[in-house]
Structure 1
């Protein structure tokens, strides 16, 4: 006998139909009896992995990710070319004293979470080990190092658009070959002390013992670890979610001083870990989970202990997201961003139809 009640009715009466198929798209199928669900689950043509993945791709949000957000081959080619040019300039044209031991690419491009039309690249300039193997030795000449890098870039035709205590900023306009399109790449160039000879526990001990004002300068030296945390240890579906949240931030969120994209990356990873690290999940569920937490930002308390142990734990008052490689760095920092406006934007997004039909867990 065929089913007598529509799927829509079943979704609207969950108490009457408590048993749920977690794989079906676009909406979960609900059943009154466990036996009916088990019979449905045996429909292998519906639940084989290829069929599941195909239905995942059919969602509206996934379609947006594929068509509007993921960088295409031309975009990736131009980004790589920009990074390669700047890297070669830094390797070959700075003063011999500062000639880098290595140039490391990070930021969204280095971590595989870049979005079309808006990329950020961190180029870490790892100083020679023999002379600059402590943060203190680098800071003693930090102004001169930045001056030298800025002069080198200027002589090579690049205009430095900003300069902070830690980095130089460039904005590079790229022409995508064969398309006539242009896009901008924001580049931060960060000199870093060469701490390669130290173990991680030794580095974190030095971080603890140094003056508070110096602790933030350890982070660029740990770029490889930071990049690996996002690039290597999470599934492709979570990267897609992160890219969509970045797209929301740059195109839909109306905030004067938004948080960093890295802040949203770490929040998404933390919530995914809390929900059991599922390798596949409905993108709508993951997005609702992230948006609900952003909307309730005062409750955000995120720390990671993959690279340092709990002895490095700091007492934090208020919302915080602590950098996985620097226990002294709160990347959420409400004093630098308009989080009340961010939360308002998240609450508005949660009113969209795709969110109303989603659950608040990655794995449900």
Structure 2
């Protein structure tokens, strides 16, 4: 049987059944256009100068700094951006991952040997050099698990003081403050943690007003924090200016522990438990019909019916939103549900999460100027993948960390098989989930509290993750390790 040859457009990744069809597509869609490297889109050649003035000089443009160290760098992503189709060498965006990979090979000579060289970078005395499960447990207790007892209590007290200081220094009244990050979830590691702070204010009546006032408000907060006692004693080390957030590191007393803060602000879309009448209902028969349809399909949203409606409207807004900044701001309201999902895991699962986060930090080569746009999976993605593998094992209360790590690494080797969905916050028949599910590409990890976000889209280096995972499985820690129950399902991988 003859196989049909396909012709792929190098500009957008679209496939065609003939060379003639491809040429017609290029004439209609791409002829006379040039690619804007900074903005990631095609522009008519004669309008490139006007485009540069109107778009590049706009304060609302976000220049994404993707440097591969996203587990260390503060980059709070509550909605996955389509980074998976962005070149890791020049940030050019394509219609498909296949088109992006073809571009990387042709334009940047990104061969298998070059990928191996640029991805692998095991640190000295890596935990993968442990000889058995007992050595790994000692390594985790001594070098990864946060210090218990008085040190932990003192650390928590200082973090609490900083959180109060942030609220006091915020230039407008905050109606509600929510927190996230590894420190709040209980997945932080020794010497380092992440703390996300969202300040809701009624001053930001809508997204347009918020985006106009956001920079001014965060700049004022930055200035106020620098003038405090913490800022004066170098306890607060400000990071580079971000478009939607304020980032800084806070060093506890004795500089033994670093907390990476990211502060964002928006108006309170959901509220803690809003009463009827606080939010104006949707207008029009179509909106009412949509609300009724979503209401029949959704489940597990708690006892407050008004809260359910607000979530349904938020999901619909996220699904229809074309502005990545607005989507990220709107999704901030879902942070408490994301935290609760991970925080509910048993202690042993959190230990495994810490090991996997440590593996990402110590197993990959640092990005260079050549591949500075490389993006590894986010911390949140790692947490959810770990929880998923544990659930596949039947949610055991006690298990070997070596067996757990081995299972996760084996799945990463064949990342195209990753297909993860939870239905605790949205029903399988929920219309938005159905639409997203029909278009999904693998790897696929749908945010358990946001049916519009495939978290795997925040990574454009899954092939590198698979390579480093494969090399890790050859390390001493996994030598002669035989799979045991309840991890027998990994034999199929």
TM-score scaled by structure 2?
Answer: 0.55
Q: CA deviation at 1:252?
A: 3.2
1:350 aligns with 2:426: no
Task: Determine which of 208, 217, 237 is the counterpart of 1:145.
Answer: 217
Aligned residue runs from structure 1 range 264-343, under 5 A: 264-310=382-428, 311=430, 312-313=432-433, 314=436, 315-333=439-457, 336-343=459-466
Q: Secondary structure at the match of 2:252?
A: strand
Q: CA deviation at 1:102?
A: 2.7
Task: Determine which of 260, 264, 281 is the counterpart of 2:378.
Answer: 260
Preserved contact between residue 321 and residue 330 of structure 1 (Cα < 8 Å):
yes
Q: CA deviation at 1:133?
A: 6.2
1:183 corresponding residue in structure 2: 257
Q: Give the paired residue count.
A: 298
Preserved contact between residue 112 and residue 231 of structure 1 (Cα < 8 Å):
yes
1:164 aligns with 2:236: no
1:123 aligns with 2:181: no
Preserved contact between residue 197 and residue 264 of structure 2 (Cα < 8 Å):
yes
Gaps of 5+ in 2: 1-131, 275-306, 368-373, 489-493
Greater Cα offset, 250-259 or 294-303: 250-259
Deviations 1:22-48 (A, max 9, x none): xxxxxxxxxxxxxxxxxxxxxxxxxxx
**Separation (CA, whole Å) in 1 of partners of 2:448 and 2:380:** 11
Assess, with a 3 A threshold, how the Cα gap between structure 1 residues 133 and 206 changes in structure 2: closer, same or farther. farther
1:223 corresponding residue in structure 2: 335
1:92 corresponding residue in structure 2: 168
Preserved contact between residue 123 and residue 189 of structure 1 (Cα < 8 Å):
yes
Q: CA deviation at 1:358?
A: 4.2
Preserved contact between residue 191 and residue 257 of structure 2 (Cα < 8 Å):
yes
Aligned residue runs from structure 1 range 17-28, under 5 A: none
Preserved contact between residue 318 and residue 330 of structure 2 (Cα < 8 Å):
yes
Deviations 1:59-102 (A, max 9, x none): 2222221121110135534542443233112222222xx32123
Assess, with a 3 A threshold, how the Cα gap between structure 1 residues 153 and 348 changes in structure 2: closer, same or farther. same
1:32 corresponding residue in structure 2: none
1:14 corresponding residue in structure 2: none
* Backbone CA RMSD of aligned residues: 2.7
1:64 aligns with 2:64: no
1:247 corresponding residue in structure 2: 358
Gaps of 5+ in 1: 1-56
Q: CA deviation at 1:104?
A: 2.3
Greater Cα offset, 293-302 or 252-261: 252-261
Assess, with a 3 A threshold, how the Cα gap between structure 1 residues 248 and 229 changes in structure 2: closer, same or farther. same
Assess, with a 3 A threshold, how the Cα gap between structure 1 residues 164 and 321 changes in structure 2: closer, same or farther. farther
**Separation (CA, whole Å) in 2 of partners of 1:58 and 1:320:** 31
Assess, with a 3 A threshold, how the Cα gap between structure 1 residues 322 and 137 changes in structure 2: closer, same or farther. farther
Deviations 1:174-214 (A, max 9, x none): 334xxxx6332211112133121343333323333444432
